[in-house]
Each structure stands twice: as C-alpha cells, then as structure tokens.
Amino acid sequence: MLTTVLMTVAPRTVDWSPTIGLIMIVCNILAIAFGKLTIKNQSVGPAMPSSNMFGGFGLGAVLGTTCFGHILGAGTILGLSYIGAL
C-alpha cells in the first residue's frame, strides 16, 4: 500500500543523455564562478592536491561550490523535464 502511494508522488525523471551531462557541467561551472566571486576566504582548510587546477580553492570551497552546482543542476534538469524541454 505504501509503495503505491510513494510511486504516485515520485517526480518524473529523465534518462541520462549527453544533454543532461552538459547541463550539469554548465551548472557546476556557474557555481564555481559564483563561488570564486563571493567566497571571502577561498583557501581556508586543507589544500587540494593541485591547487592551481582548482583555482586556489581549499577543500571546503571545492566541496561547497560543487555541492551547490549539483543542487543547481538537479533543479535545472528537473525543471526542464517538467516543462517538456528535455
């Protein structure tokens, strides 16, 4: 009984495609650029192995911006699939 109820409220999801991957990459790049402009102390915490590859970000800034990018990407993908654009 509970399973059927949960299945009725589950959001419509789309299968993975290169378009979905591209949207997620673009959202992560936008989140990293936003973080680069707004994070005051970017290099606080443990350093990344190749800090010039990560723009001088510390571990916390990399995790924070990529988490934000994935949240932004998931929302964008779900929104575009909801309106039928994907």
Each residue's pLDDT expressed in tens, for the chain with a length of 86 residues: 566 766 676 666 788 899 999 999 999 999 989 988 888 887 777 777 776 777 778 888 888 999 999 999 999 998 998 888 88
Q: What's the whole-model pTM score?
A: 0.77
List own/partner pairs for 38-44 with CB under 8 A and 24 or more apart: 39/64, 39/65
The answer to whether the beta carbons of residues 24 and 66 sit under 8 Å apart is no
Unique residue bearing structure tokens 């190749």: 50
